[in-house]
Structure 1
Amino acid sequence: MEILSMSDLQVSLIIIGIIVIVAVAVFNWLQQLRYRREVQAAFDHEHDDILLDTHHSDEPFQRIEPKFNKKMSSESGLDSLPQTGDQFDSSPTETNKTSIMSPPAHPPFNTTQTSAAISSATTSPLLDYDSNTNYIVNIRSESVIANTHIAKLLQRKFDFGKPVYWLGQQDKNEPWEEISTESNVDSDGYCHLKGCLQLADRSGPISEVNLSKFRDLVLDFASQVNASAECPDIVSTHEKAVMLDKFCAEVDVMIGINIISKDDGAFVGTKIRALAEASGFRLETDGLFKYRDEGNNILFTLNNYESSPFLPENIKSLTTHGVTFLLDVPRVAHGERVFDQMTHLAKIFSNTLGGIVVDDNRVPLSDSGIQKSKQQLLEIQTSMKNNHINSGSPSALRLFV
């Protein structure tokens, strides 16, 4: 009888356990359903599509103020299109900046912005590589340089501290094309080569030693294949790299908007995820929700205000006192439109989560504060454009990494 009694107890416990598990699953499902209904209600009102509505670009600049997270290290680099000289105007730094708390890691991030740049790059890769932001060498030969020789150049592309890109022309009347290891194998060789060594990136300017190493490689290669080589002066190029890096450090800015909970409350991970996915974000393996355009370029990210990332495996059990929207200014074209889109979503998050939009000091952000930040963004991107550096362009995406 005692053994039978123990068996009945075990069966009862198993049944109770199953009931609890089912109850929790149903509760979570109902919570998700309720959150999604709340999100849907928030989106039921018709809103202009800020990214597509060209009217916005004609409106006068307004003043805003969420906060800036400025990378102060002089370890930036940018690219531009036509060469205009070696002077870089860093006037945007004279504006009054604020700063936002940034999460432990962020990817750097664009919009229909890049589509124009990409289409132009498709026309000719030369548009992406200029001597203002690259050390460009030319190798010319009367005969075709075999792809087996060019393969040796490609093997050395990571030896100089900064990225190297090779462009080739199979004949003087043929279009330029970017040479990769794969495309080189399929080619019959090239008679004209351009080597483009990037002058700077977020880790700083290229060193004079690496410039010299690259020049020596090119001269040795040209002599081996009986070609002529044109290599710009090393000292003046290094000075240009330092100036470029200094300018890039001044415009290397992130704009962020914090949403924190009220009265020391907390936001639950399941509700954040439901709201984010309904808004168009996608949670990626690095723990960031990323809002991308149709070209898969990052426009802005949604990060945990606290140190823990939104890891997919932990999101169900996660709670946090806030979230942060981040926009990487140099990597996004038409930044004012993207900024409007981001602030629009931030307000929806704030209303749906029951949070407060604040700055780094946890002071509520006013509309005038938000407008001040938007104005600063416009000034930064205008300065980049004036220096022939287009934010969100393929070259900017290469340099701001």
Structure 2
Amino acid sequence: MSELQIGLLAIGALVVVGVLAYNRVQERGAKRAAQLSFRSGHADVLMEQPVPAAERNLLQETQRPSVRAAPPDDAAQPDPKVDYIVELSVEPPAMRPDAQTALKTQWSAIERRHARRALLAGSADGRSWRAGLQLVSRDGAVGEADLIEFRSAVETMAAAIGATVAAPEMRAAVDAARALDDFCAETDIQVVVHVQGGPFPGTKIRAAAEASGLALEADGKFTLRNDEQRLLYTLGARDGSAFTAATIREAAPEALSLALDLARTPDTRRSFESMIRLAHQLAAVLGGSMVDDNGNLLDERAIAAIAQQLDAVRARLESHGLPPGSPSALRLFS
């Protein structure tokens, strides 16, 4: 074999080794990226304390994918625990009429752009305002680009009305949004129990629900609300089919589901106990049984365990100034 052939073979071997080494590096990099992408940093709040196996299925069923909730009411105010707040102020005398028009017009555009996540509150003397952008919702944390866009729009509005602006540092707001999002992910709990053993007559379901104070609403579920019309829990067909006043006589679901959204429910413990009482009543009246998602029967020990865990999550929310059912909690968990 000539020296040229030997040289070419050596070069070829080096190329192969180089390609294999590059592929190995790429493979490890991709594997590490995948691990980082799919690894969750959140502890399972309801499973932090050891529980007997018989109770574990029910506890797992309380941490479910979040459900979409109605937006907050118009009485909500910017809250530093929840919002990135830009403060605006004008010097006396009060604003000119054309400046007031500019304020309304430009704020309406900001509000439309941010889909009700933006709030504006004015002082009694009409010379200062607090413009807030909600940092977190069930869609996740607000991004830095959105914060920059919001702040820029508010500064433009301030210039139009002759106001000065004071705004928090952007990086700190982004970090706060991420931390708040982590906290919300850990405390976003929904409890769902089922009554199975149907078909169940729709008329009996309606009678039991109405006797417990629930009313049939437009979404096809029976709903219990408090005196302030805050949602406490719902009762519906497990397969998602809607109940209607016109068809309730023909309704015959195989199973029912009762659901309580912890962060959005005031007086959580009493609401949970009321929901469980209704589940027991339905099971007795309809000849069914209370089960979790896996069809396991729910006994009093499991129900007591979940009540204690809900109390713990409620206490965490309250310690952060976000009592379940409060205006700020309703905004965050929506």
- TM-score of the aligned structures, taking structure 1 as reference length: 0.64
* Paired position in structure 2 for 1:326: 259
Which whole-Å deviations, capped at 9, do the CAs of 1:41-75 have from their partners, x for residues lacking one? xxxxxxxxxxxxxxxxxxxxxxxxxxxxxxxxxxx
Q: CA deviation at 1:273?
A: 1.3
**Structure 1 runs not aligned, ≥5 long:** 1-87, 110-117, 172-189
Kindly report the root-mean-square deviation, in angstroms, between the aligned alpha carbons of the 2 structures: 2.8
**Shift of residue 129 of structure 1?**
3.1
Aligned to 2:85: 136
Q: Is the 8 A contact 1:303 1:310 kept in 2?
A: yes
> Residue 375 of structure 1 aligns with which residue?
308
Matching residue within 118, 121, 126 for 1:167 = 121
User: Is 2:238 the partner of 1:305?
Assistant: yes
**Residue type at the aligned position of 1:381:** R
State which of 155, 170, 184 in structure 2 corresponds to 1:219: 155
Alignment correspondent of 1:193 = 129
SS at match of 2:112: coil
CA distance in 1, matches of 2:173, 2:242: 41
Could you give the per-residue CA deviations for residues 328-376 of structure 1, whole angstroms, max 9, x where no partner exists?
A: 0001122111111111122111111111111111111110000011011
Counterpart mapping for 1:231-380 below 5 A: 231-261=167-197, 265-380=198-313
1:282-316 Cα shifts (integer Å, max 9, x gaps): 11111111011111111100011223222333322
Does the 8 Å contact 1:92/1:383 carry over to 2? no
The verdict on how the C-alpha distance between 1:374 and 1:290 changes in structure 2, with shifts beyond 3 A counting, is: same
Larger deviation: 336-345 or 149-158?
A: 149-158
Distance 1:346 1:91, change over 3 A: closer
In the other structure, the counterpart of 1:99 is 61
State the partner residue of 1:56.
none
Specify whether residues 387 and 89 from structure 1 end up closer, same or farther in structure 2 by C-alpha distance, changes over 3 A only: farther
Match of 1:177 in 2: none
Deviation per CA, 1:135-161, whole angstroms, max 9, x where unpaired? 001001103234212212331212135
Question: Which letter does structure 2 place at the counterpart of 1:159?
Answer: R
Give the direction of change, closer, same or farther, for the CA distance of 1:390–1:129 in structure 2 (3 Å limit). Answer: farther
1:154 has 2:107 as partner: yes
Out of 277-286 and 143-152, give the one that drifted further. 143-152
Identity across matched positions, percent = 31
Distance 2:156 2:67 in 1: 41
The 2-side partners of 1:154 and 1:349 are apart by 49
Structure 2: which amino acid aligns with 1:136? Answer: I
Highest CA radius of gyration, 1 or 2? Answer: 2
Residue-pair matches, total: 279
Structure 1 counterpart of 2:141, from 196, 205, 222: 205
Alignment partners' CA distance in 1, 2:44 and 2:173: 20
Provide the TM-score with structure 2 as the length reference. Answer: 0.76
Other structure's SS at 2:91 match:
strand
The alpha-carbon distance between structure 1 residues 101 and 391, as it changes in their structure 2 partners (threshold 3 A), is closer
